[in-house]
Structures are given as C-alpha cells and as structure tokens.
Structure 1
Amino acid sequence: MTEGNFVDYVKIHVASGKGGQGSTHLRREKFVAKGGPDGGDGGRGGHVLVRANKNLWTLLNYKFKRHFKAGHGEHGGKSNSTGAQGEDIILEVPLGTVIRDTETNTVLYEITEEGQEEILLPGGLGGKGNSHFKSPTNQTPRYAQPGRPGEEKDITLELKVLADVGLVGFPNAGKSTLLSVLTAAKPKIADYPFTTLKPNLGIVKHRGFHSFVMADIPGIIEGAAEGKGLGHYFLRHIERNATLLFLLPADSPDLRKEYEVLLSELERYNPEMLDKSRLVAISKTDLLDEELESMLKEEVRETFKDVPVHFISSVAQQGLQPLKDALWEIISPDKNAE
C-alpha cells in the first residue's frame, strides 16, 4: 500500500433513518360494516453501525465520501401490517480504530476485536398504528403516531496501529531498513530525514512458524509531543504497541541523550508509554571497526543498565536473529494467550 493510500484520521457526518408513520386505516370489507381500526405500525429507521474488519489497514474508504445516511422506515399499512425497516448503514473500519464525537471529543467506541459491531446512531422508532389506541369509549380512533426522527452527528475516526513491536527512533535511525530486512514490507528508504511519512507494518517470521507484527513509525524529533515535526500524527500509533524497540544509530554523537529525548517525548505525550516493555538496538554497526565497536559496547554497558541492548546491522544482516529471539521472548506470553 502506498503512503498516499494510508489514511488514519477522518471526520465524517452520519445520520440515522426516521421511523415510519403509523397507519390510520379502518377495516372495510364486504358484509363487515364496522370492522374497526387495523392500521399497522411504522417501520424503524435504519441504524448507523460500525463493524471491525481485520482485512482493512486504513480509513481510505472515508477519505472522499464523508456523509452517510441510513434509510427511513416505511409507513404502516392496513391489516395491521408493519412498515419495512429502513436500510442500515454499516461502516467497516480496521482494528485499532477509535471513534470520537467530534463536537465533544469524547470517545464513543474503541474497535479492537474482529467482528465487533456497535450502534453509532439508532434509527428512529416507528409510530404506532391506530389499532393501538382503540378502547371501549373510542372504538374507531382516526389518529396514529408519527415516526420518531433519526439522529445526526459528526464523528471522528482515528486509527491507532495495532502491532506487537513499535520501532522508535530519530529520523534516519534505520527503522525502515530494519523493517524491510525482517519482513516483506517495502517502506520508502532514503538518506534524508522523514523518509517515512506514514506508519508501515510488516510481519516478522520467527522460529517454529511463529510470527509477530512490527510497525515502523515516522521518526521522533525533540518537541514532538507539542506537535513539532510530525508530532501527534504518529505518536498515537505507538500507544497500542505491546513492546517498544528503540533504534539508536552507532554513529550518533550521544546515544544517552538520544535515548533520553525519545523517552521524554513519549512520557510527555502519554506517561503510560513508559510502562511498556522495551529494548534498545544499536543500528548501523557495520560502520564500526572492531576497536570502535568494543569501545561502544563498553559505553553502552554503562548507559543502559536496565534495558537489554542488541548490536545490529540491517545492511550486513548482523545480530538480527538474536534481536528477534529477544523480542519474541517478551511478546510470546501475549501471543500464547490468544
């Protein structure tokens, strides 16, 4: 899927259908002079529903069509015939979609499970026919209820990528290259910052026919939590990743500072992100000779005392299997529980 087709934030307008009007029909048949009321109820207006679809990865369907309206219920008929229900509108969205009320910004639903279906707006109820209002003192009521009107609302659909591992790092840290080597994904790769403008997903194959999903998130810069660079556009995608893999290039002038800036931006955006399990991978180690690599390992041992560190080279494909083993060891309890 091209970057232009990845849509993760849209605002749409939805409206449910109006209920049908109840009938005021009076029964008239040969040899039945006063048959009484037999008006049927109006049909319910169509609902607006949202349904999870695991085969979707983007909100592209809602990029160009922004207005969705369910069908109206039909009016009741004679012989106590109930009107047909209005046609429902079903909005299919990918897993990880958050649905908000645009006006109040309150979260209505979070779509996280395949087959999950929720009613966004209920259709208006159909009106009762005149047969409901007959009584000993009013045997031929000539009135019925009108249908209830439908509802309208502006909603925001926001996709948060669901992945087992999220790649976190500064622009040009080598995230896209690592994803392209570990998976069949083909992200855009170039020697300049912000090559990746949209999240990319790939499936990493592991030993014993196991696999897990890895997400390449656009690079973080200092001040991202306030919206600098690509800001909130990508930070929300990290929220649902089970594990964070921090990618720091071996040619960085200050590994400790880079790591602290990344942690700081995540904390400022959402402090709960620091509760996620995390690993550090020192990338581009093919640029180092043995002496420099030995010195760097000593420095890293002092800097990252509480976090597992792996030295890798995506280009030379060095250290990748131990990295996959370490990631699988962290996420496998969740995988085995599925």
Structure 2
Amino acid sequence: MPRRTMVEAIRDALDVMMGRDSRVVVFGEDVGYFGGVFRATEGLQRKYGTSRCFDAPISEGGIIGVAVGMGAYGLRPVAEIQFADYMYPGYDQIVSEAARLRYRSAGEFTAPMVVRMPCGGGIFGGQTHSQSPEALFTHVCGLKTVIPSNPYDAKGLLIAAIEDDDPVIFLEPKRVYNGPFNGHHDQPVVPWARHPLGETPDGHYTVPLGEAAVRREGNAVTVLAYGTMVHVAEAAAAETGIDAEIIDLRTLVPLDVEAIERSVRKTGRCVILHEATRTSGFGAELSAQVQERCFYHLEAPILRVTGWDTPYPHAQEWDYFPGPERVGRALRTVLEA
C-alpha cells in the first residue's frame, strides 16, 4: 500500500474525485498554476485544465460566495482558504449563505461544498498564520467540521466531505502536513511515535463523517483530541507510562458522542486537548458533553489542556501550543484526584 504524507493524501483525494465526478471544481488563491502554498493541489490544473482547477483573487468573501453559487447550481466545489487565519472576510458567506441555504430554501437548494483550510501551528507563523478557529464553525447550524490527524483519514474524510450534500469545513493541521512528528518540535522520531507518513490506499474510499477512532486503548483516563494534538497525546502517554485511552475525534460536527461516552464510562477520567485558545474553545463543549452524559462515572474533574488566552509572538510558538509535558501533568493530576 502506498505511503503518503497528509499533503499527498489530500492531493490524491482531490485527484480521485476530480477524475470520478466532472462536477468537482477546485479553486482558491494560488491553487492552480502554483499548486497551492503547501502544494496540496500541485499538478491538478495541468491534468484537468483551468476550468476545473483555477486561481482566485485575494478575496475570501468572493471565494466562498462563488463556491455557494457553484453548489446551488449543481457543482461540487472545493475551495481553499490559504490559511485558516484568512477566513474571516469570508465568514459571513459561510454562516449566512452556505450554512443556511438548505433551510432557508426549504430544501430546494443545497450547498454541497468543501472549504479547505490549513490550521494550527508548525511554521512559526505567529498570530496571522497559526490560528485554530474550529469553534467558530462548530457553533453554526448547517456546517460540518472535520480535522484529520493522519494521511489515511485525511484522504477518506476529504472524499466523504466532497460527496456530502451539505457544506463541510475541512481543517488541515499544518504540523503534520509533510513529515514525521512525535509530539515534540526538536526531537527525532522514536519507535513508539505514530508516523504521519501513513499507508493510504490508491483509488476511492471514504472515512465516514461523525465517527471517532480509538488511537490507543487504555483503562486509566480518556484523552479527547483531534488533529496534531492526537500525536501530542500519544507522546505524553508513552512518556508518562499512563494507561491512557486516546480518542481521535476526526469530526467535531457531527460529534461521535457515543464513542466519547463509552470511553469515559470505562476509564472514569477525562483530559481534553486542543491547540486553540482555552476560553470558548471546542474543549468547553466536550467537557459539557462528558459532564452531562458521564457525571456518575467520573472519578476526577475533567481537565482541559489548550493554547493560552492570548496572542503569541512567532518565536514562542512551541511554548504556546500544548506539548507532552503539559499533557503529562494533566494526566497525572486526574489520576491523583
């Protein structure tokens, strides 16, 4: 089975779907001739032509608005926002048009579109290239929000998103785009680390939206994570030796609450992990879900390990984002409670 990076898996998913379905159109800033700033669309314009893969002006509102119109017309657009940090000018189109089109038209029109956005840290991009805005989308009825952690899931989830009849926000964590990552920024890959260069089948397959995955089975504590933080959680569990069960949510909306409930009822403890700022982050929703569903099974308070509630200078990226040491402290705290 071929081994691909996440960028290669995403490119392959786009290639597969453009080959299978002439309605699939890929566009955004620099995605055509240049192949995207991270090369996720490299070669697609050459293969499918400028009417299927093309560059858009620097206008995020225009990009999303065009995608909504394409979807209503019957196409299946995949729009790229170059960095998730740039999506704010297009947020009104996402919320007011894409998310509401099915409901406000009583089902007469839909917006079968995907908005791809690189998110999170990994390039020392600071305040304008490293944001994790997933909570802004999970709060909006009518949107689905996906964040893969590995190449296999990235390809399968993206194909499922393109085939979905409603708008999907597809957030791609930059730190696991192009190579090995073991939870740290300055250490080589070690044998127990999950390698982001993963086996990814050729051709068409899907990973269903709304299904979490157990990345590591355990009985002492449940760790809920997604994207890059899945690898940080694995590093922390390995370094501390704690018997943690790591749940990769994969899809935030729809959320696999059954998988979360099964795990927390088994372990009796829960640590929630994400890169985004703490206040009103998606971890708050996860904490509420766990408390409502598993209160009588909990043996310790639910803990969150997150980014800080402050912007951060470029050079302090690795202090800002949760690492294995911070996660390890949280794991030990809930076990000692």
TM value normalised by structure 2 = 0.26
Structure number having the greater strand percentage: 1
Whose helix proportion is higher, 1 or 2? Answer: 2
Is the radius of gyration larger for structure 1 or structure 2?
1
